[in-house]
Amino acid sequence: MGKVVGRRGFLVAGAVGGSGLLLRRAFQPLPADASPVHDPGHGRGHGRGSADVPVTPPLEKFVDPLPRPVSAVPDPSVYPGADYYEITMRESEWCFHRDLDPAPVWGYWAGNPHDPDRPLGMGYLGPTVNATKGRPAVVKYRTELPADRHMFQFVIDRIREGDPRLAPPRYHGMPSLPPDVNVWNVVHQHGGFTPPQSDGAPMQWFSPEGVRGPFYTTLDPGKTAPNEAICVYTNRERSAMLWYHDHAMGITSLNVYAGLAGLWLVDDPADERLGLPRGEFEIPLILQDRTFNEDGSLAYTLAHAEGADTPVVNGKAYPFLAVQPRRYRLRILNGSNERFWRLRFHADGDAAPEVFLPFWLIGTDGGFRAPLRMLNFLISPAERYDLVIDFGRVPPGTTVTLRNYNAPVHYPGGGGPEISEVMQFRVTEPMPEGGDPTTPPEELALRPVEPIRPRPGTRRRQWVVHQKAAFHGMTFNGVPFMAPSEDFVAAGSSEIWEYVNPNHEAHPMHVHLVNFQVLNRQPIDATAYRDAFRKWLDGGRVPADRPVLEHYVTGPPIPPDPDEAHSWKDTVKVYPESVTRIVIAEFAPPTGRIASIPGSGTEFPATYIQHCHILEHEDDDLMRPWTIVTERT
């Protein structure tokens, strides 16, 4: 795992498949007073926990219909030429399953310009923002969450106490978390082409009581209260499914687990000509795993175990969806904190002509790609897959189960609770007259993504996943997140980034602002490289003495996986014992005024971040800033 001992479970002494030896340790549960359930004095949970990891009570599968997140309604009158939203973070109740009681959750609620007394949301997660390509959006975020105590306060308390399994090391004595605040938030539009002041970086947080982080920013400050921030989004991305989620320093994992995530769809009106399934036949699926206490409340178990034990899709455990025998478009987000999923569609019943139903991949994180026929796919946290599947290939009455297999929580060598069934599609709805009017996926007129071809001499930048010792957090290049930016990128330039992972598990790496393409991967002698890199760090990080990566490769470059080749990505799987190379065509943030708001465009130097999207790793320091400058350095 990334933070090999810490919020997870085991340590590495060597490398998988290499000369070293992989040593796993038993989980070291927190003491009984560090319960992963809610404190009974605050009306949540079922009382004082024990040293055992909570387990979800037995649930009958496939008895709850799949919810569909509501859509936020914009107000176009506030900022001319832009859509305006007010999105508030609140605590409310949500029932995750028929056999569980409603329980406290956190979620986003959108203001309703047509009826201010009826905000839009479910309680858990957030409403979907349906944006139009090229039309800016302005969002006022507000937090009205309980300020006195976090839903998972026991984790915050342990971090403040310096528990080495939870707390990253302090940088020059700075506290890991704000000392006098228990709840703080900031919202990141994941995948967005966004100026840095609206990026939702971790230190831009603000609290329900109006306490603000050191880099808090807001546009139009005269229109914000202390517990609010205004951000602006260009929506100049390709037609794609983005998402938005909490990104607060040190507690992103807790806030997202509590429910703070939602979808952001950028739609190009020109896509209507493609003949894709739309409306009720375009289904968003937010995949998560959660563990529940006996009373139905969320049990945050990831402080001392790998992954949660129950699949949750759009906020329901083991849901089902009744479908017609026709083509559907599935917009899939892996919204889990740390679980990888390997998914396939299993057609149940003797009359089904195929055991595993094929589908077509038509898009990834950054938009459309040439259709690719597939039978299964591996999706890491934060990745998105855009699929077309034809339920007309099976007889009416067939049940198609979305199954998960051969995907440990920390892929490929981790453990955690196994989840084999996720949800069901029941082909029970009648087909209306006229049949299926959509275009067969193999005939879709989707323009292939042209590969980025790096020029000779394109700058290469290395990010080494490093852990100093057991019970230490992981970092990039041995540098904590709080240290000033050391990586300066020339505006308008192209670069190749090399993620060097000498450890035994994969990391989903996300880069803010840009889309990129996967260039290749190459195996390395992980043990030798790790030893040399540690020696270099201990020797003072002299640039001329840095280990030369090419001296440690053990085989030729490997092309991208078929589902990521010729695709636009903002999150990439960095596999173990290898270097993963991505190529970024151009670093060019939006510089002009957006939505006519002064100060809304990018000013240089412009700092963004990149990080592991296993949220517990991100919180534990596997995150670094990088800065765009107007002159090459």
Asked whether residue 497 carries a pLDDT value surpassing 80, the answer given is yes
Asked whether residue 190 carries a pLDDT value surpassing 60, the answer given is yes
Mean per-residue pLDDT for 543-562? Answer: 98
Asked whether residue 605 carries a pLDDT value surpassing 70, the answer given is yes
Q: Hey, which bits of 100-160 come out as E strands? A: 103-110, 129-132, 137-143
Which of 3-17, 154-168, 320-334 ranks highest by mean pLDDT? 320-334
Q: Say what the pLDDT of residue 413 is.
A: 86
Q: Is the pTM of this model over 0.85?
A: yes
Asked whether residue 431 carries a pLDDT value surpassing 70, the answer given is yes
Between CA 245 and CA 129 the distance in angstroms is 12
- Radius of gyration for the alpha carbons in the chain, expressed in angstroms and rounded: 23
Confidence at 166, pLDDT banded by 50, 70, 90: confident
Q: Say what the pLDDT of residue 68 is.
A: 98
Between CA 357 and CA 347 the distance in angstroms is 6
Mean per-residue pLDDT for 435-441? Answer: 97
Q: Say what the pLDDT of residue 469 is.
A: 74
Asked whether residue 377 carries a pLDDT value surpassing 50, the answer given is yes
Decide: helix, strand or coil at residue 269.
Answer: helix
Q: Say what the pLDDT of residue 172 is.
A: 80
Q: Say what the pLDDT of residue 468 is.
A: 82
Between CA 313 and CA 424 the distance in angstroms is 11
Asked whether residue 42 carries a pLDDT value surpassing 50, the answer given is no
Average pLDDT in the chain = 90
Q: Say what the pLDDT of residue 12 is.
A: 23
Minimum mean pLDDT range among 10-14, 299-303, 398-402: 10-14
Q: Which helix (H) or strand (E) holds 154?
A: helix 153-160
Between CA 404 and CA 621 the distance in angstroms is 30
Asked whether residue 10 carries a pLDDT value surpassing 70, the answer given is no
Q: Say what the pLDDT of residue 169 is.
A: 74
Q: Domains (ranges, CATH) in the chain?
A: 83-268 (2.60.40.420), 279-427 (2.60.40.420), 459-629 (2.60.40.420)
Q: Say what the pLDDT of residue 470 is.
A: 67
Maximum pairwise Cα distance, the chain = 74
Q: What secondary structure does DSSP assign to 240-258, as a single string?
A: EEEEEEE--TTTHHHHHHH
Tell me the per-residue pLDDT of 79-105, one tens digit each, with 9 for 90 and over.
Answer: 999 999 999 999 999 999 999 999 999
Q: Say what the pLDDT of residue 359 is.
A: 98
Confidence at 450, pLDDT banded by 50, 70, 90: very high
Say if residue 67 is preceded by a cis peptide, omega within 30 of 0: no
Confidence at 471, pLDDT banded by 50, 70, 90: low
Mean per-residue pLDDT for 265-284? Answer: 97
Asked whether residue 77 carries a pLDDT value surpassing 70, the answer given is yes
Other Cβ atoms closer than 10 A to 579: 25
Confidence at 50, pLDDT banded by 50, 70, 90: very low
Percent of the chain with pLDDT over 90: 85
Mean per-residue pLDDT for 201-223? Answer: 97
Between CA 512 and CA 196 the distance in angstroms is 9
